Structure 1
Amino acid sequence: MEQWIYFLHPPRENFAGTMTDEEQAVWGEHVKLLTQRLEEGSLILAGPTLGTTNTGICVFEAPDEDAAQAYMQADPAIASGMARGELRGFQAAFLRGATAG
């Protein structure tokens, strides 16, 4: 299984502090999906960056780029058009508590 990362680029600065009711509803669905993926084991970590630009990151496993692209596109924040997704391959090289090698 390969590791991937996608970035969720918000539509404006201070997005977390200025969400409309509609945006909050979509982000609620985003949180539900990430929780499900974490429980299923495909999600490694996810969260927002802090400050005025609340870019989100999602590190996960998928078998190939097509599957990774589908994984990202299924995120309600991206599927709704409220956030722009950016997919890249990823490799966790240093992880606290993990043995190097």
Structure 2
Amino acid sequence: MKYYLCKYIPPRPDFLPTMSAEEKGWMGEHGAYLDALLEQGTIVAHGPVMDPAGGYGVSLYRIADDQDIAAFIAQDPIVKNGVGHYEHHPMLHLKARG
């Protein structure tokens, strides 16, 4: 297994409070996409981080050795619609409850 910390970087620092209706729709699709991966066990946890300098999202992935993190990120509705981007960083291991 491989493990990744993924950080969603919104297109602007005030993105969360200033999203357009279209962006809100894509964020809803984004949440549903991540929830589906959570149900499958591909994602261990995900959620928004309310940083005073500008909010962002974090997700922890656990994927098979033959899978590519970039493929998961490319399918995220916010990436598909050009609303921000991800940084992803490999982790040496991941310990989690449950």
TM-score range, shorter chain: 0.7 to 0.9
Give the equivalent residue in structure 2 for 1:73: 74
Give the equivalent residue in structure 2 for 1:21: 21
Q: Which runs of 5+ in 1 are unaligned?
A: none
1:41-52 superposed matches below 5 A = 41-50=41-50, 51-52=52-53
Q: Which runs of 5+ in 2 are unaligned?
A: none
Could you say which structure has the larger radius of gyration? 1
> Which deviates more from structure 2 when the two are superposed, residues 81-90 or residues 60-69?
60-69
TM-score by length of 2: 0.85
Q: Percent identity?
A: 26
Give the aligned residue type for 1:84: H
Alpha-carbon distance between aligned partners in 1 of 2:78 and 2:70, rounded to the nearest angstrom: 14
TM-score by length of 1: 0.83
SS of 1:53 mapped into structure 2 = coil
Give the equivalent residue in structure 2 for 1:11: 11
